[in-house]
Each structure stands twice: as structure tokens, then as C-alpha cells.
Amino acid sequence: MVEISAKLVSELRNSTGAGFVDCKNALVEADGNFEEAVTILRKKGVATAAKKLGREANEGIIESYIHSGGRIGVLLELNCETDFVAKNSEFKKLARDICMHIAAANPSYASRETVPADVIGNEREIASAQAFGKPQHAIDKIVEGKLDKWYQQICLLEQPFVKDQEKTVNDYITAAIAIIGENIRVGRFVRFQIGE
């Protein structure tokens, strides 16, 4: 059995944001191999990420991003459960990547739940008018389909992530929850653009 030093456990903890015991156990399982321990933590984290989504996330950071040329800027509040994770480099990288996504994709809302009811009602009316003349059961399906596509355009969490179009921003955050080991959620954001 390989001797696992406290320094190595600390390095893994700083790198992943996972708890001390989880890091030590992963290193033991990986026979001291740092990269394999990271993989073990990631696999274990994906399985438990869903459980963490319901937990309170009252800590975090405000991240800023100014796009080259200074014509677009973003402020993002990204929340987590502890100040330890808020200081973690993986968490800060996640916040930075989300800011860059917001600058590029210009979402209007964080999630479906944050879209005002009157805005949804207006979009529903437009979709219904476009489906006019079809049977009612078909109109309902068409309207729901159009609303789903609309949410994917305007809601940050449902947009394809700019760095990996195969994933949504929510998928990217869920993967980070698996690695970091705490619930993470977008608090709020604002995007500034010269002339808007």
C-alpha cells in the first residue's frame, strides 16, 4: 500500500475542491496516482451531483469579464455552499467560462423559472397565432415545441455552451458540481454592450 502524504491530499483538495476524506480515499484507491484520483473523484461526483442540487448555495463570487476591445462586459453572481469552494481555482474558472458564454450568447434570463409570466404569455400567443388553422391538439404540441426552442435561445442554463456545443450551460455546471462537490447555481448576471 502506498503512503499518502497530507501534502498530496491537500494538493488534490485544492485542485478539485472535494473534501479531505474523499481526496484521501481517492488517492488510496488510485495508489497515489494524482490524475487517477481526480478521475475517481469526478466519477463519484457525477453520481452525487443530483443530490447536491437541492442544498443551499449562499456563498460564492462576483466574476467580471470584459471582452477584447472593451465593448462588451459581464458581471455574474455564481453561488456555492462554502467560502472554501468560492476561493477554489476550478470554481473561479467555471465563473469565468460562464461570463465568457454570456458575453458571446447574450441570454436574457438565467432559467425558465426566471422568465416573467407576461413574457411567456406573449410568446405563447405568438406561437399559437403561427399555428392557427391546425387541430387544437396539434396547436398545443406546436406551441410547446416553439416555447422549448425559445427557452433554449433566451435562457442561460439551456443554451448550448459556447466552448462545447454538445453540452448546455447547465450540463457544464452539473459537471463542475460533480468535480467540486457542492451545489452551484447562477445567482444573477448582467451584460453590458456599448450602444445598447
Q: In the chain, what are the domains?
A: 6-52 (1.10.8.10), 59-111+155-193 (3.30.479.20), 116-153 (no CATH)
With a cut of 50, list the residues of the chain below it in pLDDT.
Answer: 46-47
* pLDDT tens by residue, 4-36: 888 888 888 777 667 777 888 888 888 888 888
Q: And the C-alpha cell for 64?
A: 467580471
Q: Where are the alpha helices (DSSP H) in 32-88?
A: 34-52, 83-86
The Cα–Cα gap between 157 and 48 comes to 20
Instruction: Write down the residue that cell numbers 447555481 correspond to.
Output: 185
Burial class (CB in 10 A: 0-12, 13-18, 19+), 6: exposed
Return the half-sphere exposure (C-beta side, CA atoms, 13 A cut-off) of residue 107. Answer: 30
pTM of the model: 0.70
Helices 169-180 and 34-52 cross at an angle (nearest 10°) of 120
